Amino acid sequence: MSERQEIEAFAAAFSRLLAGDTSMLKCTRCGKPGSCGCWVRCSCGWSAEAGKPCRNPETTRCSTKVQFGVYNRRTRRYEPRDGAV
């Protein structure tokens, strides 16, 4: 494939994506094409893994942190229950 053909293929795929066609995307967790239940939208606008608080460092009380996190009085922030970041 020549460089020009690669650029044209990328432009075509990118224009499909901008038009709302997400059929070529795959989940980064399970690899399933299209939509799956691995990710949820947080109230801060970020996406979070299902069942875990989001990783947005700018927020302290967004929906997934309150639902799935543990409040740390010392740092005054919600942190993941399992201690992982």
- Taking only the tens place, the pLDDT of each residue in 18-50 is 898 877 888 888 998 877 889 999 999 998 999
Looking at the DSSP assignment, which residues form a beta bridge with residue 42?
none
The mean pLDDT of 52-68, rounded to a whole number, is: 86
* Domain extents in the chain: 1-27, 37-85
Distance CA 33, CA 10 (A): 19
Give the residue-averaged pLDDT of 47-54: 88
- Segment 65-70 shows an average pLDDT of 84
- Token reading at 7: 């650029």
| Residue whose pair of structure tokens reads 């740390």 in the numeric block | 72
Is the backbone of residue 15 left (phi > 0), alpha (psi -120 to 50) or beta?
A: alpha
Q: What is the pLDDT of residue 11?
A: 92
Residue 83's pLDDT is 52
Taking a C-beta distance cutoff of 8 angstroms, is the pair 49, 41 a contact?
no
pLDDT at 46: 92
